[in-house]
Amino acid sequence: MVSSNGAPLLSDPLRPARLAVLGGRFLDARSELERAERDTRSSPEWQLLSAMAGWRLGEFALSRAAAIQARDRYRTQGDADGEMRAENVAAAGAFALGDLADAERGFARALALADRLADDLTAARCANNLGNVSYYLARYVSALSFYRLATATFEKVASWKGLAEGWLNSTIVLRESGDLAAAEDAAERAVGAAERAGDARIMGQALAAQSEATASLGDLDLARAQTERALDLATEHHDPLGEAEALRILALISRAAGEFDSALELGQRALVIAERVRHPWTVGEAQRELGELFSAVGRDADARGAFQAAAQAFEKIGAASRAEEMRSR
C-alpha cells in the first residue's frame, strides 16, 4: 500500500477490529481479532480490543484477564494513555464479576490518569463507573454525585452515548430513591441522548431503565411496550445483560398485572441468562423478582429460597446492605 505521494504507508493490522469495537460490532471485532497474526496478538492493543469486545459479549473473566495484561504491558512501555484505557476496562471486568473493591480502586486509578492526561471523555467514563459502584453499595448520594459529574463532562465533549449511560444510571438510582418525577425526567433525557448517539445497544438499555420508571408510575401498558422494544434491541445486538434486565422488568410488569404464569416464565429466563454470563448483580436482581413473585402467589418456601439466593448473590459482591434487605424479606 502506498500514499498519494508514493511513500509506503505503515501497516495497521488492527484497524478493522478497532473500527468494529468503536462501531459496536463486537462479534465482528472478535472475528477480526481471531484472524490476526501471532505478532499482532502479542501487542497490548490486541489484548485491550479483545477485552473490550469480550466484555460486551458477556465474557467478563476473559475480558478482565486480557485488560490486565494490556494494562501491564502499556505500563512497562511507559504508555500512560494505554494504561489508563486498559485500567478502566480491567476495572469494568472486576465490576461485572462482583469484585467491587478492586473495581473501585481501578476506576479511581484510571480517573487519576485521565485527569493527568486531560482526557475528559475517559474521566467521564470513570466517574460514571464509580457511580455504578456506589449504586451497588446503596450509596445513592455518592452515586448521583458521580453521575452528575459524568453527565456534565459527557455533555462538554458532546458524547451522546456517554450522556445516555449517565442519565439511564441516574434514572435507576432516582427511581429506587422514590423520586419518580426526577426518574421520569432522567429517563427521557437518556432516551433522547441514545437517539442522538444512534447506538442501538444503549437505546435498548435506556428504554429498559425508562420502562421500569414508567411501571413505577403505574402505566403498565406503556412500560410493557418500552421493555419489549428494549428486549428486541438487546437480543438483536448480542447484549446478554440487556436481555436479562429486560426480561426481569417484563416479569415485574406481568406480576403487577396479575399475569403470574407469564411472570414466572420471564423471571426464570432472566435468571438463566444472568447465571450463564456469571453476573452476580443480575443474578441477585432476577432472584429478587422471583422472590416477589412467589410471595405474591403464596409460595412462601419458594419465596424464601429466592430471597436467600438473592442475598447470597449480593453478598458475593460485597453489597452487604442489599444482602441484608433480601434476608429480611
Residue 2's SS3 state is strand
C-alpha cell at 289: 423478582
What's the pLDDT band for 55 if we cut at 50, 70, 90? Answer: confident
Alpha carbon dihedral 65, 128, 319, 309, in 10-degree steps, equals: -70
118-159 pLDDT, tens digit each: 999 999 999 999 999 999 999 999 999 999 999 999 999 999
In eight-state DSSP terms, residue 43 is: S
Which residues are bridge partners to 2 per DSSP? Answer: 8
181-220 pLDDT, tens digit each: 999 999 999 999 999 999 999 999 999 999 999 999 999 9
Rounded Cα–Cα distance for residues 5 and 3 (Å): 5
pLDDT of residue 79 exceeding 90, the answer is yes
What's the pLDDT band for 11 if we cut at 50, 70, 90? Answer: confident
DSSP per residue over 141-194, as a string?
Answer: HHHHHHHHHHHHHHHHTT-HHHHHHHHHHHHHHHHHTT-HHHHHHHHHHHHHHH
Residue 299's SS3 state is coil
Contact 199, 207 (CB under 8 A): no
Rounded Cα–Cα distance for residues 94 and 1 (Å): 41
C-alpha cell at 258: 396479575
Q: Which amino acid is at 225?
A: A
Q: What is the pLDDT of residue 3?
A: 38
pLDDT of residue 37 exceeding 90, the answer is no
pLDDT of residue 107 exceeding 90, the answer is yes
Q: What is the pLDDT of residue 2?
A: 37
User: How many C-beta atoms lie closer than 10 Å to residue 191's C-beta?
Assistant: 21
Q: What is the pLDDT of residue 132?
A: 96
Domain ranges of the chain: 11-118, 258-329
Element (H, E) at 7: none
Rounded Cα–Cα distance for residues 102 and 111 (Å): 14
What's the pLDDT band for 163 if we cut at 50, 70, 90? Answer: very high
> 42: closest CA among 80, 78, 13, 8?
13
Predicted TM-score (pTM) of the model is 0.85
CATH homologous superfamily, domain 11-118: Tetratricopeptide repeat domain (1.25.40.10)
**CA-based torsion, 110, 152, 49, 206: positive or negative:** positive
Q: What is the pLDDT of residue 9?
A: 41
Rounded Cα–Cα distance for residues 58 and 283 (Å): 14
pLDDT of residue 8 exceeding 60, the answer is no
Element (H, E) at 14: none
E strands of the chain, at which residues? none
Mean pLDDT of 246-265: 98
